[in-house]
A and B are shown apart, each in its own frame.
Chain A
Amino acid sequence: MITIRNTIVLTSVATFALCAACTPARRIDSRGNEVITSTNKVDVQDFNLAADKLVQSMTVSGVFAKSPNQPAILGISRITNDTSDQFDTDELIKKIRIALLQTGKVQISTTEGLGGKPEDPMAKGTKDMREFQSGKSNEMPRMTDFTLTAKILENSVSAGDTKQTSFIFQMSLTDTNTGNAVWEGEETVTKQGQKNAIGF
């Protein structure tokens, strides 16, 4: 009787463990708390966290609300990834752009870009054509009021099998009238562990 009961218990535990290990593919909330936290790369939730914090800081500073031109025009300047993780910096910048646009106080220029390369060549061409047809091509165009630059850095250490990686998101907002930074922010996301895990 005891042997049968032990067999049932062990079989149940083994079955449960096997089922738990074989997680079928499913869609999860990318802003939720079930995403995988890795120890050596920037995860999607790291971008979410950094973007939320940086936008909050920018909002509280009131820089855009104080701009003489409303809404203020923001240009995206140099964004540098100085980490060992090869990611597209738009994973951070696009979130910030969306959040700033939602405030209603900022518009993002897609026809002016770093090195004269517009983000949207078709919009640039259409805008130029309209200005030419309306005779405004000789007028001084409205320039960007602010530019945004950013750099993402990495700092890694380890203690035995435990790895700790810090990703430092640095950002500056420059007033193009004065050439001075009117806002700067820094957000650090630190992760520690021996291996990747699900959740926080």
Chain B
Amino acid sequence: MPRLFQIVSLTFALAACNTMNTVVPISNAAPGTPGFKQVITNSWLNSKSNVTDVKEDVVNGDQKRVQLSVYSDQATPQSISYRFEWFDGNGMRVTGAAQAWQTQRIMPRETIIITGIGPTPTATQWQLQLLDTNLPWTQ
């Protein structure tokens, strides 16, 4: 019975592991500090998709572009899924701006670049959502 309980518990624990990590910008960050914050609920996911740098600029005259550097500390190739959410200056979600989840392969100790562009000129705030893709039951 204890072994059965262990098996069932492990199954539920694994199922609950694929929680989302989120990256959000920090406005008015102190000099020398990162201008972004990672909300980590999945440390395993963070080990293969740690955001190390964020850059922002404007394209097409008035649309915000954000570029993130993502580093994998793993010794084997990994897959991650990511998506950008966009909000206006009041923090309201920009309607119809939900982008599709994208999958990215990341090699051992590699730093990849993830880029997002605001869909409208009013989309000035962003949020990056990260999910694990390397789950055995998704194969």
- Chain A residues within CB distance 8 Å of chain B: 5, 8-9, 31-33, 45, 48-49, 52, 56, 59-60, 62, 64-65, 98-99, 102-105, 197-200
Contacts and interface: CB of A to CB of B under 8 A. Distances in A.
Interface of B: 1, 4, 59-61, 63, 65, 79, 81, 83, 96-103, 115, 117, 119-121, 131, 133, 138-139
A83 to B, nearest CB: 20
Contacts of B121: 103-104
Contact of A200 (B59, B79, B98): B79
B123 to A, nearest CB: 9
B60 A60 contact: yes
A33 B99 contact: no
A199 B134 CA distance: 11
B117 A59 contact: yes
Contact of B61 (A65, A98, A198, A199): A65
Nearest to B4: A9
Nearest to A44: B100
B96 A200 contact: no
A2 B60 CA distance: 71
Contacts of B101: 31-33, 45, 200
B58 to A, nearest CB: 10
A31 B133 CA distance: 15
Contacts of B139: 197
A60 B63 CA distance: 9
B60 A56 contact: no
Nearest to A65: B61
Given A31-B100, A60-B59, A62-B60, 15 more contacts: A9-B4, A31-B99, A33-B131, A33-B133, A52-B100, A60-B117, A62-B61, A98-B96, A102-B97, A104-B120, A105-B61, A197-B139, A200-B79, A200-B81, A200-B101
A48 B60 CA distance: 21
Contacts of A60: 59-60, 65, 117
B99 A199 contact: no
